[in-house]
Amino acid sequence: MGLTTGACLASLGHHVVCADADPHKVDRLRRGEVDILEPGLPELVRDGQASGHLEFTQDTKASVAGAEVVFFCLPTPMGVGGAADLAAVEAVSDEIRTALPHGCVVVNKSTVPVGTAERVAALLGRPDITVVSNPEFLREGHAVHDFLHPDRIVIGAAEQEAARRVAGLYAPLDAPVVLTDTASAEIAKYAANFFLAMKLSFVNNLATLCEHFTADVDDVVAALGHDPRIGPAFLKPGPGWGGSCLPKDTHALLTVCEESGVEFPLLRATIDTNLEHQSRLVERVVAECSPGAGTPHDARPGTLPGALSGAQPGARPGAPSGALSDGSGGSANGSLHGVTLALLGLTFKAGTSDLRDSPALAIARRLRERGAELRAYDPALSETRPDLSDLLTIVDTPEKAVEGARACVVLTEWPQFRELDWEAVAGLLTAPVVYDFRNLLDPDRLARAGLSWQGIGRSLAMVS
C-alpha cells in the first residue's frame, strides 16, 4: 500500500520520498525492481524515478525533512487477541517526532483502530502538527487503478485547513471527497471491510442452502444482484475469505467492540461462518477421499456433492445432522493418511502473489491435519518461494501437481485454470474428480474430459 501510494502521488506531479527500514528493498526499488505482483506499479516506479518525482531512502528522519505532508503507510497486523498491532505506528511516531517540519500534516493511511489519530498526536507531542485519517480503499491486483480512479476519498481531520491540504493532493482525480472527523474516517475503513466479509460469509452460507434444496447459487445470486440495493459485487461463493485485510480488520473491529462494551453479534457471526464454511469443504473432501471410501462418486444430475445428508427440508443450514456423506462410504471423522491431493492455487485471490491469511492455505492446513499429502501449483509462486515445505510441495506445472493425486482441488480463481488440458488431467489423476471451490470451471467441459466436477452451491442438475 505504501509503494502504491507513493508511486501514484508521484505520477500526479508531487515530489515523494518513500522510506523503508529494509536496505535490500530500498536498493531494489532504486533499480526499478518491484517484487509484488501489482499491474502498472513497476512502470510507475520507474517513471517516477526517471522524472525525479520519486525517491527511495532507508533514512526515515531524512525522508521527512522539508515535507509538507507525511503519510504513515505502516503494517498493522493482527496482534494478541485479535487487536491491531500498532507497534510500527508507535515506533515511527517516536522516531520522527523531532524531525517533522513545523506545521506539516501527518496522515494515517494505514488501517487503524478508532482513536489512533488522537493517539499518534499524543505520541508526537507537537501542537503544531495535525494528524489526519485518510484510509485507503485499494484492492490487491487493482491497487494502481483504484488509487487513480477512486470511488471516494475519505479524509478525517479536526482542523479544516489540514483536511483541505490533504484533499488538494488528490485534486487531479475525479472522485467524491468525504470530509469528516478522524474517528468517523477510522470506523469507515473497518466498516467497509467488515461489510465485504459479511457478504462473502452470506453467499457461502447461501451456497450450502442451495445444495440442500438442489438450487443453483449462481442463479440465486443473479436474482439478488439485479437489485440495486444489494448489487452483485462480493457475492461469489468460494473457499472462504482471507487476504491481508479482511481477517485482521474484522478481528480488530471485534476487539474494539468488546473493549467498548458494544454488542455486535453480526460481526462475530461473519467470522464464525467463514470458519464453519471452510470446515464443511474439508469434510466433503475427507468423506469422499479417505482410504476405504472408494472412488469419489460421479456427480450425477440431481445429486448434491457435499450436501448435508440426513438433514430434513427446512433444517437450519449447517446444523449438525450426522456425518457428511455422499453415499461413498466416507466419514467426516475419516483420515486422509496416504492420500495425495492436488491443489490449484494458493494465493488468496487471482492477480496477486499475496499468501497472507489465504483461504487456500487455510483449506490446505486442514487437509494436512487430516493426513493428506499435498502438491500445489500457483502461477504466481515459484518452487522455492515461499517456503511451505512443512505444509505442502510447490511444483512448477499443473500436470506435476495432479500426477498420481486422488483428486484435484481448485482454490484460487486463476483464469488460466479454465484452459488446462483437462483430458490430460483426467489421465494423470487416480480418481476422476475435481473439487472446484471457486465455481471457476465449466462442468460440461470437465464432463467431456471424463471428470466429475463438484462445485459449491450448484448441482449438475442445474448446470447441465
Write out the catalytic residue numbers: 245
Angle CA 352–358–360, to nearest 5: 100
Owner of C-alpha cell 496416504:
338
Other CB atoms within 10 A of residue 418 CB: 13
Sign, CA torsion 370/372/378/384: positive
- For the record, the C-alpha cell of 371 comes out as 493426513
Other CB atoms within 10 A of residue 421 CB: 12
User: Which of 270, 108, 257, 116 lies closest to 203, judged by CA?
Assistant: 270
User: Which of 162, 109, 170, 153 lies closest to 135, judged by CA?
Assistant: 109
Sequence-ordered list of residues with C-beta below 8 angstroms from that of 423, at least 6 positions apart, any chain: 449, 450
Sequence-ordered list of residues with C-beta below 8 angstroms from that of 237, at least 6 positions apart, any chain: 203, 204, 206, 207, 217, 439, 456, 457
Sequence-ordered list of residues with C-beta below 8 angstroms from that of 421, at least 6 positions apart, any chain: none
Peptide bond preceding 386: is omega within 30 degrees of 0, i.e. cis? yes
3-state secondary structure of 393: strand
3-state secondary structure of 387: coil
Report the C-alpha gap between 19 and 28 in whole angstroms. 13
Distances 119 to 90, 95, 125, 148 between C-alpha atoms, Å: 9, 15, 10, 30
Report the C-alpha gap between 463 and 451 in whole angstroms. 15
Report the C-alpha gap between 173 and 152 in whole angstroms. 10
User: Which of 152, 162, 169 lies closest to 10, judged by CA?
Assistant: 169
- Contact criterion met (CB below 8 Å) for 347 and 412: yes
Report CA Rg, the chain.
24
